[in-house]
Amino acid sequence: MEENLYEKVGGEESIAKVVDYFYSELVLKDDTVNQFFKETDMEKQRRHQSKFISFALGGPNQYTGQSMAKAHEGMNLHPEHFNAIVKHLHDALAHFGVNERDIDTALTKVASLRDDILYK
């Protein structure tokens, strides 16, 4: 039986490391998107993001947060913001040794949320 992407990445512990790197080293240092996190409880954000990414990669569904549309309501995110986040997720996964094919699979799932996130 083939491992799902969640298992290939290393499960919950590895995803938490990816998410930490994603925010600490990439998102919060990027002036394109960091302003959206100025008032954010980053520990809570990291927990939510870890659960969401775990589910998106085929892991257990522990995500109980708002819908993507509701979570991004009032933010008026544009394609350049979405694209920056996708690039940072790519780079964070690559940093931890995830191969390009698996990264593409993950980013395809993220891309499916684009309409729920932009211009809200």
Q: Are the C-beta atoms of residues 111 and 85 closer than 8 Å to each other?
A: no
Q: What is residue 83's predicted lDDT score, i.e. its pLDDT?
A: 97
Using CA of residue 79, residue 116, residue 103, residue 62, what is the dihedral sign? positive
pTM: 0.91
CATH topology assigned to domain 5-117: Globin-like (1.10.490)
Q: What is the pLDDT of residue 62?
A: 75
Say whether 90 sits in a helix, a strand or coil. Answer: helix
pLDDT in tens, 11-31: 999 999 999 999 999 999 999
pLDDT at residue 117, as a whole number: 93
Q: Which two tokens stand for residue 77?
A: 């995110």
Across all residues in the chain, what is the average pLDDT? 92
